[in-house]
Amino acid sequence: MLDVKGLAKAAGGGGKEEIKIQRQITLPWSEAVRISVRNVTIRLGRTMITASGIVLGIAFLSSVWTSSVIQDGLQRAQLQQERELVEATARGQGESENANIENFTGISEEEQQAESSKRVWLVVMSLLVCGVGITNAMLMSVTERFREIGTMKCLGALDSFIVRLFLIEAVALGILGSVVGTILGHIAMLGIFSLRERSLSVAAKMDWGQMLVYLLLCILVGTVLSLVSAIAPAVRAARMRPAAALQTEI
């Protein structure tokens, strides 16, 4: 049953043999995806906790962007209302007061600039918070699986297999978490503004095209953040000597 064919002189092997050896150790992408996705779905509870970091961060980002789009929409609506009012008055009172129309047009340029810089600051902060949260979550989820990684290396896994498995997992988590986070943040802001304005017309007033771009951006940011912050822990775990990885006790 067991073949006793020798190690094909691996030590003295030339270029050709090395290529042969490389081919002999494989982890097809399909298998890697299958294993990673299963890892995510089977430990659903644990996954949810890891993902909640992403969800919260991206929910914050999404809410900031949603509120900005909603405010823009409301402002535009108000402006239009004022303009119509002014025009109506102007028509009523004759053309002499046309010059004053400009004075009514909403917020000054300075205020607008302050508002937008505040928004940029908020977005940067939310990204930082999200990034730190995800890195922490990823570190934890890698650390608690050191033994598993050590075992895989004993079974012949290359460092790159381990990194690949964890990165696929990170992307899956990233997509899952940021979709949920984006929707949560978006709905929360819609709700808050609807309550504040005491009408459901908020949704009608906003620019949905722009909103969609922002929402997709949220998902992209969450996924990329998750991927980037998983690289360091995954590489660190993969480089461990199997003996050391197997000895870790948690």
Partner 1 sequence: MAKITCPKCGEQIETDGTITVCPKCGVDLREVIGSLDVDYEERMKTIARDESVTTHEFIVRTRGLKKTYVMGEIEVPALRDIDLDVRRGEYLSIMGPSGSGKSTLFNMIGGLDKPTAGRCFIEEVDMAQLDAFELAWLRCRKIGYIFQTFNLIPVMTAIENVTLPMIFAGMGTDEMMERGRELLDLVGLGDRLDHKPYELSGGQQQRVAVARALANSPAIVLADEPTGNLDLHTGKEIIDLLKELNRASGVTVISATHDLKMIDVSDRVVHIRDGEIERIEQRHEIELEVGGMGA
Q: Is 154 in the site for partner 1 (CB under 8 A)?
A: yes
The answer to whether 54 and 174 have CB atoms below 8 angstroms apart is yes
Q: Does 176 bind partner 1 (CB under 8 A)?
A: no
- Classify burial at 238, counting beta carbons within 10 Å of its beta carbon; exposed 0-12, middle 13-18, buried 19 or more: buried
Report the distance separating Cα 16 and Cα 14, nearest Å.
Answer: 6
* Contact with partner 1 (CB under 8 A) among 50, 54, 61, 153: 153
In angstroms, rounded to a whole number, what is the distance separating the alpha carbons of residues 172 and 216? 16
> How far is CA 98 from each of CA 76, 83, 86, 104, rounded to the nearest angstrom?
21, 11, 9, 11
Among 83, 147, 217, 248, binds partner 1 (CB under 8 A): 147
- 7 vs 99, beta carbon nearer partner 1: 7
Give the span between the Cα atoms of 91 and 58, in whole angstroms.
Answer: 49
What's the closest the beta carbon of residue 15 comes to partner 1, in angstroms?
13
Q: Which two tokens stand for residue 26?
A: 């494989």
Per-residue x/- track, 25-54, partner 1 (CB under 8 A): xxxx--x------xx--xx-----------
The residue within the footprint of partner 1, chosen from 29, 91, 92, 155 (CB under 8 A), is 155
Beta carbon of residue 39, minimum distance to partner 1 (angstroms, whole number): 6
13 is an interface residue for partner 1 by CB under 8 A: yes
Restricting to residues 228-247, name those near partner 1 by CB under 8 A: 241-244, 246
CB-side neighbour CA atoms (13 Å) of 131? 13
156 binds partner 1 (CB under 8 A): yes
Contact 65, 47 (CB under 8 A): no
Q: How far is the CB of 59 from partner 1 (least distance, A)?
A: 28
Query: Per CB under 8 A, does 248 bind partner 1?
Result: no
Report, in Å, the least distance between residue 228 CB and partner 1: 25
Rounded Cα–Cα distance for residues 247 and 232 (Å): 21
CA 34/CA 2 separation, integer angstroms = 29
End-to-end alpha-carbon separation of the chain, Å?
A: 38
CB of 65 to partner 1, least distance (A): 36
Q: Which stretch binds partner 1 (CB under 8 A): 16-24, 128-136, 168-176, 221-229?
A: 16-24
Give 21 or 128: the residue with its C-beta nearer to partner 1: 21
Q: CA gyration radius for the chain?
A: 28
Size of the site for partner 1 (CB under 8 A): 44
Residues found near partner 1 in the complex (CB under 8 A) = 1-11, 13, 18, 21-28, 31, 38-39, 42-43, 147-148, 150-159, 161, 241-244, 246
